Amino acid sequence: MVEKNPQTILVYVGLDLVGDGLLKLPFIRALRVAYPAAKITWLAGKGKSVFSGFLSPLVIGLIDEVIDEIPVGSRFGELFTPPLKGRHFDLIIDTQRRVLTTLILKRISHNQFISGTGNYLFSSQKPSSKDIASPSMVGAMLELVDVAKGEKVRPVGTLEIDEIYTKGAAELLPDGFDYIGLSPGAGGKHKCWPQERFIELANQLVGEGKTPVILLGPAEEEWVEKFKILQVLLPLQTDTAKSLNQSPLLTIALAKRFKAAVANDSGTGHMLAAADIPLISLFGPTPPEKFAPFVSKGRVIQAQAYGSSDMSAIPVDEVYGAIADFINNS
């Protein structure tokens, strides 16, 4: 039976690092759309949650309580001594698929339990469709909200950004220019389109009267000198950005000022997606059907379409053409 109006919701996740958190943002936003008045508790069962630290500003008003650094969901003994004793939740959503963990979570007092484990074997409700579950991590998590609510739910609008970041973004990227975001980094070099391609793309954009904005994080400072020689902006390397601790909220606020953006399979790509701008995502060795960002207007360009899984196979003209299509059809 669907819990029509749950007042308390527990969401269980395992690891909750920066990349995981960014992937989960569409799910969190959809959950709040589905249950605007509920108290949402976020339980990270395998260590510290990024939402109690680095990414906590992103979920203000979306998550009400974070429980982390208390191991939950891994020990057989928890089947006999349930975690969170004394707590009751109208709805529990289990986002992982390990049977032992699911059985442990079912021992927490609840009215409704939603879990995709074993093709929803342990879940109070199952998907109405017999279609194969989405291979996308974001899609699979959104499906959990749909099942819990009994109808399709999707994020609405973009994340609310504190005024300090929107003002900082406006200072760094003033009105009157066509900004195109370019994010050349990623967690592994094998996922990066060659820097020379980004440079070629930036020069092509400048020639067409656009203003490329290069987004480089703290781990990519060694790349700054290579991009400084171009007619581009490097807003995250400014004193303004450093005064704001190069926060992901600033990156999202900057992205809201872009006409379009290009990113590898990376955390920054998911920050750009949080701004819900036209986004071109470049993929090669990793599967886009699993990791592509969730956006209203997006295009994935895969190296495999050009005969190789190596990122260098993606041609500059294809990426430039995708940007032009977004701008011309906006």
**Helices marked H in 173-284:** 195-207, 224-228, 239-243, 248-255, 267-274
Residues 133-162: tens digit of each pLDDT: 667 888 999 999 999 999 999 887 667 888
Compute how many other C-beta atoms are within 10 angstroms of the C-beta atom of residue 292: 24
287 and 323 part of one domain:
yes
Residue in the block written with tokens 């050009």: 306
Nearest alpha-carbon partner for 96 in 153, 32, 45: 45
- Provide the CA 268 distance to its chain's centre, in angstroms: 9
Per-residue pLDDT for 250 more than 90? yes
- Exposed, middle or buried, 206 (CB in 10 Å: 0-12/13-18/19+)? middle
Per-residue pLDDT, 55? 87
Same domain, 230 and 310: yes
Number of domains in the chain: 2
Instruction: Check residues 204 and 330 and name the one with the higher pLDDT.
Output: 204
Range of the domain at 75: 8-149
Q: What share of the chain is helix, strand, coil (3-state, %, to 5)?
A: 40, 15, 40
pLDDT tens digits, 280-301: 999 999 999 999 999 999 999 9
The enclosing domain of 324 has a CATH number of: 3.40.50.2000
Q: What pLDDT does residue 132 have?
A: 53
217 and 118: one domain? Answer: no
pLDDT tens profile 96-128: 999 999 999 999 999 999 999 999 999 999 998
Q: Note the pLDDT of residue 22.
A: 86
Is there a domain that residue 207 lies in? yes
pLDDT over threshold 60, residue 241: yes
Whether 246 and 287 map to the same domain: the answer is yes
Do 234 and 297 lie in a common domain? yes
- Average pLDDT of the residues in 150-179: 91
pLDDT of residue 158: 67
> Would residue 2 count as lying in a domain?
no
Which of the two residues, 178 and 221, has the higher pLDDT score? Answer: 178
Per-residue model confidence as pLDDT tens digits over 18-39: 878 888 999 999 999 999 999 9
What pLDDT, on a 0 to 100 scale, did the predictor assign at position 131? Answer: 53
pLDDT of 253 above 80: yes
Domain endpoint, select from 118, 149, 180: 149
Say whether both 204 and 310 belong to one domain: yes
Which of the two residues, 318 and 132, has the higher pLDDT score?
A: 318
Q: Which two tokens stand for residue 5?
A: 């109006």
End residue of a domain, out of 104, 122, 149: 149
The verdict on 128 and 255 lying in the same domain is no
| Mean pLDDT for the chain overall | 93
Higher pLDDT: 134 or 260? It is 260
- Asked whether residue 13 carries a pLDDT value surpassing 80, the answer given is yes
Q: Are residues 134 and 171 in the same domain?
A: no
Answer whether residue 177 shows pLDDT above 60.
yes
pLDDT bucket at 129, cuts 50 / 70 / 90:
low
